[in-house]
Each structure stands twice: as C-alpha cells, then as structure tokens.
Amino acid sequence: LNNFQQTNFENTQDGLNRATDLISDMRKRYFKKKRTRISDLADSNFFALRSTFNLYSKKIKLSPFDQSIRLKYFFYSKQLKTVSKLKKREFKLNVLNKLDNMSPNESKEFWKLLRTIKINKDKNDDNMLDLSQFADHFKNQCKPEKIDKNFEKSVFEELCKTEKLLASKESDTPITISEIKTQIKRLKSGKSCGPDKICYEIIKHSSS
C-alpha cells in the first residue's frame, strides 16, 4: 500500500499496467489465507463496506491517476482492514465463551470449535521485515557517492588552524588609543624605569 501511494505512475500504457499489477498484488495479499469463513463473522455492514471497496478497486484499475478515486480507495481499504480485525476478534471471543460453557461430554464439538480459531503457524515471507535492509538504508543516508581525499584533508587542516586561533589568547588586531590610555592609568608611581629609561610619572602626566 505504501509502495503504491509513493509511486508516481507514468500516464502511459506501461504506467497503467504497473499500477494494475500493484493493485492486484495488494488484493491477493489482503485476502490471502483466510482462517475463518467471512459468513461466520460478518454482518450486513461488513458486506456493504466490502462491496464499496470492491467497487473502488475496479474504478482505480480503470483510472489509476484519478486522485479522488485513489483517496477513496485507500480510505475504504483501511476501513475494511480495521473492521475485519474487529470482526475476527469478536468471532474468537464468541467461540471462547462457547468453549468455556461446554460440558465435558461435548468433546467432539469442543475440538471442532477450537479448530475454527486455530492460528495458522505458516509464516508469510512477504510480510517479514528484513532488518538488514533497514540497517543498509540508514547507514547510507547522506553518504556522498565519491569522497575527495585531498579536499577532506584541506578542510581538516583549516579546522585545526581555526581551533588553534580560538584557543590562543593573543590578538593580531591593532592597539587602539583607548587601550593605551587605560594601561597608562594603571601605571603605579614610584616604580623604577623600564628599558626605555622613562619614569611612569612622566608618561602619566604627559597624557593629561
């Protein structure tokens, strides 16, 4: 069903044939291996719903590109699947209640009823999930088809240089006048001269 919804069919005879094959495959899987008879668990509403679904199944074969028909087809398909599960559950509960109320002398009838709700142990390989396919799908997400090793190396080197610059506290920007004035105000009086033989007092008073 998801495959059909996500496929963009071409408006050609090949596209029509492909859409028809997918719809036929969905119908085969849906009605495959019925464990109980429909008449045992269905009512008039179920048959009406199934008739409507069959009607739109025929319509979508004739017009697979009609958006309104596709929406109604998927809607009734989902409704039919939900009602079928509910009816099967009700049928099994009804049978279990009958089994609980049966007397020990009714062994033949007991086993006959029990077989009607026996679970089919045959596994349908078409519905089995292959986990390896999921792993391969997500492993290759956002993976480039071809990796340029030289480009990858140059990017790595640039990142290393940037990290070193961010870690360094030194700055290559020019010293501003406001920074010089701030440092002059912090000079202490009565200290010895530096290598330039200029007293701090001269620097402090000359700036004013």
CA triple 30-33-38, angle to 5 deg:
80
Last residue of a domain, one of 64, 89, 114: 89
Phi, psi (deg, nearest 5) at residue 77:
-65, -45
- Name the pTM for this structure: 0.34
**What backbone torsions phi and psi does residue 23 show, to the nearest 5 degrees?**
-65, -40
> What single string gives the DSSP state of each residue in 15-84?
HHHHHHHHHHHHHHHHTSS-SS-HHHH--HHHHHHHHHHHHHHHHHHH-TT-HHHHHHHHHHHHHHHHHH
Residue 59 near residue 73 (C-beta atoms within 8 A): yes
Q: Which domain holds residue 29?
A: 2-89
The answer to whether residue 37 is domain-embedded is yes
- Quote the pLDDT of residue 27: 64
Q: Which of 51, 73, 89 is the last residue of a domain?
A: 89
User: Considering the domain boundaries, does residue 100 fall inside one?
Assistant: no
Enumerate long-range contacts of 86-93, CB under 8 Å, 24 or more apart. 87/41, 87/42, 87/43, 87/46, 88/35, 88/36, 88/41, 90/41, 91/36, 91/40, 91/41, 91/117, 92/117
Cα gap 16→66, rounded to integer Å? 12
The crossing angle, in degrees rounded to 10, of helices 67-101 and 44-62 is 150
What pLDDT is stored for residue 6 in this prediction? 64
Helix or strand or coil: residue 195? Answer: coil
Of 54, 89, 124, the residue that ends a domain is 89
Residue 29 lies in a domain: yes
| Structure tokens, 120 | 């089919």
Domain membership flag for residue 165: no
Q: Which residues of 83-116 are buried (b: 16+ CB within 10 A; e: fewer)?
A: bbeebbeebbeebeeeeeeeeeeeeeeeeebeee
Full pLDDT tens readout for the chain, 208 residues: 566 666 776 777 777 777 777 777 766 665 554 444 555 556 778 888 888 888 888 888 888 888 888 888 888 888 888 888 888 888 888 878 887 887 777 778 877 777 776 654 444 445 555 677 767 777 777 776 677 788 888 989 999 888 887 777 666 678 888 888 888 888 888 888 878 888 888 888 775 5
Q: Which of 98, 93, 95 has its CA nearest to residue 116?
A: 95
Query: Is 113 domain-assigned?
Result: no
Q: Which residue has the tokens 């290393």?
A: 160
Give how many domains the chain has, as a whole number. 2
Q: Does residue 9 belong to any structural domain of this protein?
A: yes
Instruction: Kindly state whether residue 76 falls inside one of the protein's structural domains.
Output: yes
- Cα–Cα distance for residue pair 81/61, rounded to 1 Å: 20
Residue 108 forms part of a structural domain: no
